[in-house]
C-alpha cells in the first residue's frame, strides 16, 4: 500500500470490475491488517498486480480498497 502526497504521481493501472458482496471484497482495512487474502475478491487484486507488473507498472489502483 502506497500513499502519494505529491502532485507528481507515477503511472499506474486501474482495476475496473464488478463489486461482489461486502463479505467478498477486500477493503482498505483488510489490506492494512493483512486479513483479506481469504476473500474471493483477493484473486482480482492479485491478478491486477501481476498484470501491472507484466505491463511495466509499479502501482495499481482498486476502488474497493480506497
Tell whether 20 is covered by a domain: yes
Averaged pLDDT for residues 7-18: 84
Tell whether 6 is covered by a domain: no
With bands split at pLDDT 50, 70 and 90, how would you rate the model's confidence at 66? low
Q: Which is more confidently placed, 59 or 5?
A: 59
Tell whether 1 is covered by a domain: no
With bands split at pLDDT 50, 70 and 90, how would you rate the model's confidence at 65? low
Positive or negative torsion for Cα 16, 17, 21, 24: negative
Domain count, the chain: 1
Q: For 19-45, write each residue's pLDDT tens digit.
A: 888 889 998 899 889 999 999 999 999
Three cell numbers, residue 56:
511495466
Range(s) of the domain holding residue 43 = 12-65
pTM: 0.75
Strand partners, 14: 61
Amino acid at each position: 500500500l502506497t500513499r502519494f502526497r505529491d502532485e507528481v504521481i507515477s503511472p499506474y493501472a486501474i482495476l475496473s470490475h464488478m463489486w461482489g458482496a461486502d463479505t467478498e471484497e477486500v477493503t482498505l482495512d483488510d489490506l492494512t491488517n493483512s486479513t483479506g487474502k481469504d476473500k474471493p475478491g483477493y484473486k482480482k487484486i492479485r491478478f491486477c498486480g501481476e498484470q501491472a507488473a507484466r505491463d511495466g507498472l509499479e502501482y495499481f489502483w482498486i476502488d474497493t480498497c480506497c
